[in-house]
């Protein structure tokens, strides 16, 4: 087998065969490796298809516009707790002790806060400050919802409470990180040169920024999308993205020295394009991790993807009849309502296809979705009308009549075709059409 044939074989395996293998065909270790491959393939595919670099550019623009208001809110809350000096020290450390850049940023923040508190900016300035910060947070949520394919936004009440909580926790988190950093530095200086314990503690303290960054990103992945994100699927992408952000920070700090020759020409403005590049790469890493988080949690949705996309009309009708009948039977028996996961796992139907059919049945008024809250993990489904009125004929009539029929074609000139289509459907349902779904 030559190289081209090997490449084609690998391509077929990654794009088709791996997605048609069910869990009961694999051993535990083999399933783990298959899942890792699936997650990486799906993440890379969605990274390209969703134009993540474009989303990162949009968030970079929002970040640049909101950087001074965000720091103003952080400093205002920090001063209220008496930790403004520690905040300033942490920011200087993050920006690589670029004194000219930090001095300009802090001057901007102080001027912003001063104008917000006094004169004509008293009311308008506070509103503008909060709006800028909340707008950045809303843009971040929108990007995460887009990755998670969530169309439903947070309610106004939850938007206000969640975002305010985030704004209050942000400076406290910076303060805690600063305190831990100072504590680690102090301990490292006074640490006795133990043969075994010394290197272990040093490694622990050096790994602390990676642990903190990974924890923060994992919490971000769980908090920002307006859907239920499971912890076990957010931890690994969160820590990988957090490690990437830490490495990027070290590169950014070192690059401050590398571009010192440009500072002589451009002065403090040399830091602006570098900061924009840093923000672009940071958001790209963060969104790539979010794509990985989505892929890990929703991997089962993409099994038999090619078959699901190209499913025949009659087989879709067959599965639609099965799903509608199962839900009606469960309701008639007084059992626990089905969720999409229950239907897929119990009856070996690809969950992506189950969801498509359930959404269609809800849209035509056959089923109703029950969800406890906005972040319900898996909604359940019940009949929207009495099960004694849901027959095979009524189901297919609702499916046939769903959508628009208001086109410019003159039906009168093709009356016989229209009558033929209706006659075929009527005769097809004549024998069993009056059978109730719950009785199938």
Q: What is each CA distance from 402 to 336, 388, 437, in whole angstroms?
A: 29, 21, 19
Residues 26, 34 contacting (CB under 8 angstroms): yes
Residues 132, 116 contacting (CB under 8 angstroms): no
Nearest to 344 by CA among 381, 387, 396: 381
Q: What is the CA radius of gyration of the chain?
A: 29
pTM: 0.72
In the chain, the percentage of residues whose pLDDT exceeds 90 is 8
Beta strands in 73-231 (DSSP E): none
Rama region for 385: left / alpha / beta (φ>0; ψ in -120 to 50; rest):
beta
Which domains are assigned to the chain?
A: 49-299 (no CATH), 305-439 (1.10.10.10)
What would the two tokens of residue 435 be? 């059978």
pLDDT score recorded for residue 86? 65
Tell whether the model's pLDDT for residue 435 goes beyond 90: no
Q: How do residues 291-335 score in pLDDT, each as one tens digit?
A: 999 989 888 777 777 777 778 888 888 899 899 999 999 988 888
Instruction: Kindly indicate the confidence band of residue 240, based on its pLDDT and cuts at 50, 70 and 90.
Output: very high
Rounded to 5 degrees, what angle do the CA atoms 118, 116, 95 make?
135
pLDDT score recorded for residue 239? 93
User: What strands, in cross-sheet order, belong to the sheet with 367-370?
Assistant: 338-339, 380-383, 367-370
27 beta partners: none
Q: How do residues 78-126 score in pLDDT, each as one tens digit?
A: 666 666 666 666 666 655 555 555 666 666 666 666 665 555 445 555 6
pLDDT score recorded for residue 401? 82
pLDDT score recorded for residue 120? 47
**Least confident stretch, 197-211, 214-228, 270-284, 296-310:** 197-211
Element (H, E) at 111: helix 99-117
Residues 65, 132 contacting (CB under 8 angstroms): yes
Residues contacting 244, CB < 8 A, separation 6+: 285, 289
Q: How do residues 6-42 score in pLDDT, each as one tens digit?
A: 888 888 888 777 877 777 777 888 888 888 888 898 8
Tell whether the model's pLDDT for residue 345 goes beyond 50: yes
Q: How do residues 149-160 score in pLDDT, each as one tens digit?
A: 777 777 777 777
């Amino acid at each position: 087998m030559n190289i081209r044939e090997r490449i084609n074989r690998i391509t077929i395996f990654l794009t088709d065969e791996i997605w048609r293998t069910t869990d009961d065909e694999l051993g535990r270790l083999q399933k783990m490796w298959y899942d890792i491959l699936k997650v990486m393939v799906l993440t890379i595919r969605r990274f390209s298809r969703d134009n993540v670099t474009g989303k990162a550019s949009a968030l970079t623009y929002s970040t640049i516009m909101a950087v001074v208001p965000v720091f103003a809110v952080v400093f205002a809350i920090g001063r209220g707790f008496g930790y403004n000096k520690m905040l300033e020290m942490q920011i200087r450390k993050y920006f690589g002790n670029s004194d000219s850049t930090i001095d300009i940023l802090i001057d901007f923040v102080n001027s912003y806060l001063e104008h917000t508190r006094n004169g004509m900016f008293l009311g308008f300035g506070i509103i503008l400050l909060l709006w800028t910060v909340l707008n950045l947070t809303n843009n971040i949520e929108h990007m995460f919802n887009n990755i998670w394919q969530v169309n439903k936004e947070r309610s106004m009440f939850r938007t206000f409470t969640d975002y305010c909580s985030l704004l209050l926790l942000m400076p406290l988190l910076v303060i805690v990180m600063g305190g831990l950093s100072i504590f680690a530095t102090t301990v490292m200086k006074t640490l006795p040169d133990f043969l075994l314990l010394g290197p272990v503690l040093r490694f622990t303290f050096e790994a602390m920024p990676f642990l903190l960054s990974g924890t923060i990103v994992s919490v971000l992945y769980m908090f920002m999308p307006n859907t239920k994100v499971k912890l076990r699927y957010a931890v690994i992408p969160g820590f990988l993205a957090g490690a990437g952000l830490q490495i990027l920070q070290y590169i950014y700090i070192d690059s401050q020295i590398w571009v010192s020759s440009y500072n002589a020409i451009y002065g403090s403005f040399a830091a602006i394009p570098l900061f924009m590049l840093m923000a672009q790469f940071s958001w790209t890493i963060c969104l790539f991790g979010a794509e990985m988080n989505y892929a890990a949690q929703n991997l089962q949705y993409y099994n038999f993807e090619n078959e699901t996309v190209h499913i025949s009309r009659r087989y879709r009708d067959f599965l639609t009849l099965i799903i509608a009948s199962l839900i009606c039977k469960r309701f008639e028996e007084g059992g626990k309502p089905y969720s999409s996961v229950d239907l897929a796992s119990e009856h070996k139907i690809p969950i992506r296809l189950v969801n498509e059919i359930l959404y269609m049945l809800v849209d035509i008024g056959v089923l109703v979705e029950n969800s406890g809250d906005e972040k319900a993990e898996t909604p359940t489904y019940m009949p929207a009308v009495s099960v004694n009125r849901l027959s095979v004929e009524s189901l297919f009539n609702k499916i046939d009549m769903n959508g628009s029929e208001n086109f410019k074609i003159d039906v009168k000139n093709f009356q016989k075709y229209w009558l033929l289509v209706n006659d075929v459907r009527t005769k097809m349902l004549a024998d069993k059409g009056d059978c109730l779904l719950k009785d199938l």
